[in-house]
């Protein structure tokens, strides 16, 4: 098969030739993981996961596990860009949005792409000791354990466009008052619009829903980018005017 990045993948075994049990069973991510269903794979995965010493996913491979019913009741993570989608798709899973990787019992999941390296180093440390994992990290030229969570890589605060519109003023107001609760209705009131019209206009202008923006802003540790944050006096005037 050919992956979404163009790389051809040659398998060693077909699904019906797979072993009965695995020490580590991982599902990779990609558009095929979250945009497609895999009816032939899911029954096999449901049967194989209980027999594996550990099982889990890299990046959006969590969606395949979810469709197999293997995320229910577990703490899990995925790439920050897809956490809200994972939350909506599998409400019985406890999705954590800021973890590089996460282990809950035998289930291990990771954020996007290179977070799989962090997950792998953790597995090596568990199975072979910390020193072996450190030596592997040195060979790979990566740190043994990254500081902070994956939210530091989220460009949410940079998503505020430099040109001023009603939507960007609402965005900047939200960024300046993250200690306050916000709903679509309260943000729409700031913009002087109905909630439905505001949500539609926001998604069109920002390319994400208001709640995705709000969630990203709350977990993003960086301040608003220079030039996008309105001075407090102007912000207060904007609030008074819209009220």
Q: Which of 209, 212, 186 is nearest to 199 (CA)?
A: 209
* 37 classed as catalytic: no
At residue 26, the 3 state secondary structure works out as strand
168 Cβ contact list (under 8 Å, min separation 6): 160, 161, 228
Give the active site residue among 25, 59, 62, 68: 59
Alpha helices per DSSP H over 6-150: 31-34, 41-48, 62-67, 83-89, 115-128, 130-140
Kindly state the tokens that stand for 163. 């040109």
How many of the other CB atoms lie within 10 Å of CB of 209? 15
CB 184 within 8 Å of CB 211: yes
What are all long-range contacts of 71-76, with beta carbons under 8 Å and residues at least 24 apart?
71/107, 74/104, 74/105, 74/107, 75/102, 75/104, 76/102, 76/104, 76/107, 76/109
CB 135 within 8 Å of CB 200: no
Annotated active-site positions, please? 59
């Amino acid at each position: 098969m050919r992956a979404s990045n163009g790389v051809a993948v040659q398998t060693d075994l077909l699904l019906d030739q797979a072993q009965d049990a695995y020490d580590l069973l991982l599902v990779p991510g990609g558009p095929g993981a979250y945009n497609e269903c895999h009816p032939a794979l899911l029954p096999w995965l449901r049967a194989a996961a209980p027999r594996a010493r550990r099982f889990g996913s890299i990046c959006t491979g969590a969606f395949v596990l979810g469709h197999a019913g293997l995320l229910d009741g577990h703490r899990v993570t995925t790439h920050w860009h897809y956490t809200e989608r994972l939350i909506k798709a599998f409400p019985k899973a406890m999705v954590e949005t800021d973890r590089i990787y996460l282990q809950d019992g035998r289930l291990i999941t990771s954020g996007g792409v290179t977070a799989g390296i962090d997950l792998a180093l953790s597995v090596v440390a568990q199975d072979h000791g910390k020193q072996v994992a450190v030596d592997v990290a040195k060979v790979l030229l990566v740190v043994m354990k990254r500081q902070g969570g994956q939210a530091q890589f989220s460009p949410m605060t940079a998503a505020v466009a430099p040109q001023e519109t009603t939507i960007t003023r609402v965005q900047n107001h939200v960024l300046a008052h993250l200690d306050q609760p916000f709903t679509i209705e309260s943000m729409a009131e700031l913009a002087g619009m109905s909630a439905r019209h505001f949500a539609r206009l926001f998604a069109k202008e920002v390319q994400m829903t208001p709640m995705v923006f709000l969630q990203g802003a709350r977990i993003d540790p960086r301040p608003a980018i220079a030039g996008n944050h309105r001075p407090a006096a102007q912000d207060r005037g904007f609030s008074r005017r819209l009220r």
